[in-house]
Amino acid sequence: MTFDDEITAALRRDLQAAHVGFDAARAEDMIRVATQSAPLGERRAYAAPLAAAAAVVVIGGGVATFAATRDSGTATGGGPVPPVPCPPTSTSAAPSESASAIPPVYPLPAAPPSTLYPTPVTSTASDLPLHLPSSTPVPSASGSATAAPPNGGIAMTLPPVSTTPAVPGSTVEPTVVLKPLPSTSPTDDPCTRTDAPTSSDMPSPVPTTPCEPGALDPGFCGSSVPAYSSSLTIGLTVRANAHSTGTATMPLASGDTFVVTELRFHNSDDTGRIRFVQGSTVVLDQALAGLGDHTFTLDAARQFPVSAGKPLTIGIDCANTSTACAPTVEITGHYEAPSTTTSSTPTPTHP
């Protein structure tokens, strides 16, 4: 027997000793993830650009209306919408016809598989650098497209979500869904509710918008605050033991600021951490609390503003040793008048 025989025999023995036995639960989990990650027959190589081009969110609700009515004097292309007076009977329990006709959520087209697994056989999106940017500005999303709004809503152009450098072995699937929060329940209708924000609620009142029947967004009418609240939903899929970031830009009109007051994590299946970064500043560093849905109401000191044009980077550490993390982050907040943004809203930094 030659020395090479010894080497190869030892190598063969060591390799076979390290054989991984069948783990039914793990295998089923991995197979399920693989089969659910993308439909059969998709051509991933072409999916990413299409996804970027398709990153258009059309909403007929509060966010768009607010953005369109701000700072402009025309009725189209960002100008103000006509006044939207309340229904004649302000205590009516029925939501407005227009409001009820508008779906509460206009989701993006189904995420193409490349956003789930941007890793072709020989090259990967996880070739990107490792860490959440700490000292360099987050790259802004670029490119956009628009689509005709349904139901007379206002087209909102949302820059395509861009992924920031992610650690090896991780994938990022950011999807952004904008949805107006105004409830159609009678008690939440700002045209009838008593807690609707008024000019006195906001540091810098804007002219009151009268309500009209059929108002698209009940959150707008009868209040000096055009948009009462809205939410941004960002979904990230991060592989086990990986860190990834996704960047989204809130579709705010120039000068607008959206103050994040509450975070909801859906399907948070890991005990990792999530960080929100603007530029080089970590505005919030929040631990994920494990399985299930969790809501974090931010106290005043932890609330943070998202300004128009400033990309918000969300980084997630997935500490799970076996499965991927796929939390959905829903950001809820309210708008602040431009003139009071900097003075009234602290920008806490959580290093």
* Contact set with another protein (CB under 8 A): 2-4, 6-8, 10-23, 26-28, 30-31, 33-35, 37-44, 113, 116-117, 119-124, 126-127, 130, 168-169, 239-242, 321-322, 324
Nearest-approach distance from CB 323 to another protein, in angstroms: 9
Please provide the DSSP assignment of 107-152 as one string. PPSPPPHHHH----SS--GGGS--S--SSSPPPPP------PPGGG
Contact 101, 173 (CB under 8 A): no
* Distance in Å, CB of 132 to another protein, minimum: 16
Kindly tell me the sign of the dihedral angle through the C-alpha atoms of 49, 50, 53, 58: negative
Measured from the CB atom, the residue of 125 and 156 that comes closer to another protein is: 125
Token code pair at residue 302: 């932890």
Query: Which of 239/334 has CB closer to another protein?
Result: 239
Decide whether 44 or 266 has the Cβ nearer to another protein. Answer: 44
Nearer to another protein, 219 or 272 (CB): 272
Considering the complex, what minimum distance in angstroms separates the CB of residue 1 from another protein? 8
CA-closest candidate to residue 256, choices 279, 225, 210 = 225
Q: How far is the CB of 130 from another protein (least distance, A)?
A: 8
CA 285 from chain center: how many Å? 16
| Least distance from another protein to the Cβ atom of residue 3, Å | 5
CB 319: neighbour CB atoms within 10 A? 15
Length of the chain: 351
Nearer to another protein by C-beta: 5 or 299? 5
